[in-house]
Amino acid sequence: EPEVTQTPSHQVTQMGQEVILRCVPISNHLYFYWYRQILGQKVEFLVSFYNNEISEKSEIFDDQFSVERPDGSNFTLKIRSTKLEDSAMYFCASQSGYSYEQYFGPGTRLTVT
Distances (CA, A) of 28 to 24, 60, 93, 96: 11, 28, 13, 7
CB 33 within 8 A of CB 49: yes
Q: Is 35 in the site for other proteins (CB under 8 A)?
A: yes
Judged by CB under 8 A, which stretch of 13-21, 65-73, 78-86, 102-110 contacts other proteins?
A: 102-110
Contact map string, positions 62 to 81, toward other proteins, x by CB under 8 A: --------------------
Q: Which is nearer to other proteins, 25 or 86 (CB)?
A: 25
The reply to whether 48 sits near other proteins by the rule CB under 8 A is: yes
- Alpha-carbon torsion angle 94, 96, 101, 104, nearest 10: -20
